[in-house]
Amino acid sequence: MVITGPVSPAAEQRAGVSRGVLDTPVGVLVVESDGAAIRRVGWSARAARPSGGDPLLAEALAQVAAYFAGSRRDFDLPLDLGPQTEVTLVVLRTLFETVDHGETMTYGELAERSGTGVPARAIGSIMGANPIPLIVPCHRVVASDGLGGYSGGEPGQGLSTKRWLLEHEGALPAALF
């Protein structure tokens, strides 16, 4: 897996962006690829129009479907996080490379592990800047006293989406009701 920084707008326009849609237990996911890397994952309140015959996009959708089916624990895809600060890139790389399926880490632990010197509170903002949630698993970063926040999921469903993902991975016990 390779995580890169920004691709120039001209290169993005030449390559084109393909979109794929996957219905999941936590809503409709839209995955975007430029043919060289996965550039974005997000939730849509309504189904987006899929486009293109991009083999990388097809592979990404297959890996995400396998994750939700319980037969895949990690992702092996080239990723482009787009224009981010160097600190944000370091923190997101650290998260991707060191927090495995079924594990959680607090915002403070991730701040320390990344070696960036950013305070724990800033880690929450960095998680919110993650353009590739689920694959770069920001849902695995929790507060020292609970779940913390989550901006993924369908509108208004962030925390329930985070809880579902962590339960699915075995990092949290399933809710009783």
- Annotated active-site positions, please? 138
3-state secondary structure 97-127: HHCCCCCCEEHHHHHHHHCCCCCHHHHHHHH
Residue 30's SS3 state is strand
Q: Which of 75, 43, 16 is closest to 157 using CA atoms? A: 43
b/e map 28-39, b = 16+ CB within 10 Å: bbbbbbbebbbb
Contact 165, 158 (CB under 8 A): no
| Ramachandran angles phi, psi of 162, nearest 5° | -60, -45
